[in-house]
A and B are shown apart, each in its own frame.
Chain A
């Protein structure tokens, strides 16, 4: 029989999207002075809200508010008190988890299963974890009394809007810094809801400021001379620009940038779990993941079998309404991103790689891209070198472990990698040689606040998560 799953939509009634949003500066929502922009639901292109755009003067106001809060309130506050604020925030996130998950899926296009089961629980965990550090910084290995840096300017991407906010704000606040954070222009809504959470937590005004806008706002923020520390997650190109902007200044900088991770499957791997790991590695969050396992390196002796299983598994992926609880792959975040994915996929075909997607019906409205794999990909193809940031997997083969490592490392990126083998010594041998900041062995795309995350080479520098994540926000 054919077991059709009836639509199982998560209710939208839990969220209340306002018609327009201001900037959150010094504890208040205020008007911006740039041209407001619209944020849309990528699943149906419906306008969700008008959002204020911060111009240079607004950025200046936000940075000044953060400075005053740093000097008068948050910097001098005992760590134990800061911790309690962060614990409060963690708790409110848990209390409002459904609302956050639904809003995230509406604004971003990601499946509710992921926003509900991955993003939001991790957001709460991140605040809970760093809350605990706030009064223990003297034991973190950065000297007996490490000091905060000051005002942090933080610019985050659209792929995990709320989770990236947590990665940035939680450690910054725990260390005694205040922040001005700019969410991505296509996904501002959960950050603005987070502003409301800060108010519910009675967080002192100015400690967290959320300014919305596009590239100009971000540039103004990172260039502002009142900013002591810049943290950016996004593309390598923008990361490079920021590094140039900061050249010669004394601002601290951490960058979490692009990737083109190799996911290495050895012949002796637990194949069913490897296939799951490949799927999770590239189709999680529509492939909008900097650490996505976008290059599958499979040992030639099992390549055919792995591909067979992978295709069968891909055929069970459910693409569609992000709010449907059974959706595995949601909407592409924006028209611009969809164009980029299409362009690179077309290049893959032109360069001679074999393109395959399972039969799947895509909605008429909104931005959609079927899960896709390319076989017969060579390292010289664009789809093996450039970050696609979409549900597109390039499949390459290798013959020996040395070849696998050489191919895996043959990229300017170095964010993450995967290894699948049942042989323990081979895991460690491979892991040692991979030039990547996160190595998942027999698993993929796992995140935890206790675990440092960040890249080698052009994937950026600095680590987020764990004890190591404190360093970016302390004067060490």
Chain B
């Protein structure tokens, strides 16, 4: 494919020039805003019913990164969330468990302990989340601490200031440094698309992150509005699809923030299915960063199995 050039078949690069990187990112095909939004909106009209809906709900539950990222988080709050992660619906053991629990670094230890034996991983935000405005050393220390505490996945934020000012190399080098600090932990790179402003930037940031070694690209911190949107996720799904076609390496995608209803979640699954393709339709390659969506998924699940509409009192709030 034209856009990927001939020079690199490697999936992660450690050496790249600023000019080359800039030329590459600006050489990517553009994204027409209206066309991308139209496509996402049209996919959102897919009607997922009956058996397809049941499958989709379970798949969505299994893709949830159940998240709490509050200044007010405590060990108690985190432990409760972990309990919910392992048994989303205590009254129904057939409900799958979620993919991971996502917390701040200082809560990783509590989460790891609470999730022991469940097979659910702990993801930790790091790198001075959510702003990312800290010295690189602090970001790396943040990362190492989370990994040391047992985090299997690190959700880092990119330096949006550097990105928007055109210092792509700085962003690139930070990601490679954090990737190194991650060791065996998977690296999710948060683009904070709500601050990138254009889909062209989303596409460039996606490629930049993938080339720097991201295992996942993630839309948002959840602290900036807009958080995840369908068209932003569409553009990122196109990026991972094209990146795999060019390099052979598959990268995951995680929309985060703003996903509240079953309808929302299913729209994302349709988007994955018809953009990147079924290969991405597993918790290994697609995650939903959310918390409140889980209860709605459970509620819709029960409606399908019982035939009557349920209510919020029948699902746990932690």
A–B direct touch, CB within 8 Å, in complex?
A: yes
**A325–B47 CA distance with the chains assembled, in angstroms:** 6
Closest residue of B by beta carbon distance from A308: B1
> A305 is contacted by which of B1, B47, B53 (Cβ under 8 Å)?
B1
Q: A117-B45, A326-B47 given as contacts; is B31 within 8 A of A273 (CB)? A: yes
Whether a CB of chain B sits under 8 angstroms from the CB of A235 is no
Query: Chain A nearest CB: distance from B33 CB in Å?
Result: 9
Q: A273-B39, A277-B35 given as contacts; is B49 within 8 A of A1 (CB)? A: no
Residue pair A1, B282 in contact (C-beta under 8 Å)? yes
Within 8 A of B (CB), among A55-108: none
Within 8 A of A (CB), among B53-89: 53, 55-56, 59
Closest residue of A by beta carbon distance from B235: A272
Whether a CB of chain A sits under 8 angstroms from the CB of B9 is no
Query: Chain A nearest CB: distance from B207 CB in Å?
Result: 14
**A308–B56 CA distance with the chains assembled, in angstroms:** 29
Residue pair B34, A443 in contact (C-beta under 8 Å)? yes
Residue pair B31, A1 in contact (C-beta under 8 Å)? no
Within 8 A of A (CB), among B249-298: 269-270, 273-274, 278, 281-282
**A1–B284 CA distance with the chains assembled, in angstroms:** 12
Interface of B is mostly: helix
> B32 is contacted by which of A4, A7, A270 (Cβ under 8 Å)?
A270
Whether a CB of chain B sits under 8 angstroms from the CB of A435 is no
Chain A residues with Cβ under 8 A from B49's Cβ?
6-8
Closest residue of A by beta carbon distance from B53: A6
Closest residue of B by beta carbon distance from A276: B39
Q: A3-B52, A422-B30 given as contacts; is B46 within 8 A of A276 (CB)? A: no
Query: Chain A nearest CB: distance from B3 CB in Å?
Result: 8
Query: Chain A nearest CB: distance from B201 CB in Å?
Result: 14
Closest residue of A by beta carbon distance from B269: A3
Whether a CB of chain B sits under 8 angstroms from the CB of A200 is no
Query: Chain B nearest CB: distance from A305 CB in Å?
Result: 5
Chain B residues with Cβ under 8 A from A305's Cβ?
1-2
Whether a CB of chain A sits under 8 angstroms from the CB of B109 is no
**A285–B45 CA distance with the chains assembled, in angstroms:** 17
Interface size on B, residues (CB 8 A): 31
Chain B residues with Cβ under 8 A from A1's Cβ?
55, 59, 278, 281-282
Chain B residues with Cβ under 8 A from A247's Cβ?
none
Residue pair A5, B31 in contact (C-beta under 8 Å)? no
Chain A residues with Cβ under 8 A from B36's Cβ?
272-273
Taken residue by residue from 395 to 422, chain A's Cβ proximity to chain B (1 for < 8 Å, 0 otherwise) reads as 0000000000000000000000000001
Closest residue of B by beta carbon distance from A317: B274
Q: A113-B45, A326-B46 given as contacts; is B29 within 8 A of A272 (CB)? A: yes
Chain A residues with Cβ under 8 A from B35's Cβ?
270, 272-273, 276-277, 442-443
Whether a CB of chain B sits under 8 angstroms from the CB of A25 is no
Residue pair A5, B52 in contact (C-beta under 8 Å)? yes
Q: A276-B39, A443-B34 given as contacts; is B45 within 8 A of A325 (CB)? A: yes
Within 8 A of B (CB), among A1-29: 1-8
Residue pair B56, A3 in contact (C-beta under 8 Å)? yes
Whether a CB of chain A sits under 8 angstroms from the CB of B38 is yes
Residue pair A272, B238 in contact (C-beta under 8 Å)? yes
Residue pair B273, A3 in contact (C-beta under 8 Å)? yes
Whether a CB of chain A sits under 8 angstroms from the CB of B50 is yes
Query: Chain B nearest CB: distance from A440 CB in Å?
Result: 11
Whether a CB of chain A sits under 8 angstroms from the CB of B148 is no
> A3 is contacted by which of B39, B50, B55, B238 (Cβ under 8 Å)?
B55
Residue pair B32, A8 in contact (C-beta under 8 Å)? no
Residue pair A273, B32 in contact (C-beta under 8 Å)? yes
Closest residue of A by beta carbon distance from B39: A276
Whether a CB of chain B sits under 8 angstroms from the CB of A271 is yes
Q: A1-B59, A8-B47, A305-B2 given as contacts; is B34 within 8 A of A270 (CB)? A: no
**A117–B42 CA distance with the chains assembled, in angstroms:** 10
Query: Chain B nearest CB: distance from A2 CB in Å?
Result: 6
Query: Chain A nearest CB: distance from B189 CB in Å?
Result: 21
**A325–B46 CA distance with the chains assembled, in angstroms:** 7
Whether a CB of chain B sits under 8 angstroms from the CB of A302 is yes
Closest residue of B by beta carbon distance from A324: B47
Closest residue of A by beta carbon distance from B279: A1
Residue pair B278, A3 in contact (C-beta under 8 Å)? yes
Closest residue of B by beta carbon distance from A273: B35
Residue pair B46, A270 in contact (C-beta under 8 Å)? no
Chain A residues with Cβ under 8 A from B30's Cβ?
268-270, 422
Chain A residues with Cβ under 8 A from B56's Cβ?
3
Chain B residues with Cβ under 8 A from A6's Cβ?
48-53
Closest residue of A by beta carbon distance from B38: A276
Q: Closest 10 CB pairs between A and B? A: A273-B35, A8-B47, A325-B47, A6-B52, A273-B32, A270-B32, A270-B30, A271-B29, A422-B30, A3-B273
A-B contact pairs, 9 of them (CB 8 A): A1-B278, A3-B52, A5-B47, A7-B49, A276-B38, A301-B2, A305-B2, A316-B274, A422-B30
Give B residues with C-beta under 8 Å from A. 1-2, 29-32, 34-36, 38-39, 45-53, 55-56, 59, 238, 269-270, 273-274, 278, 281-282
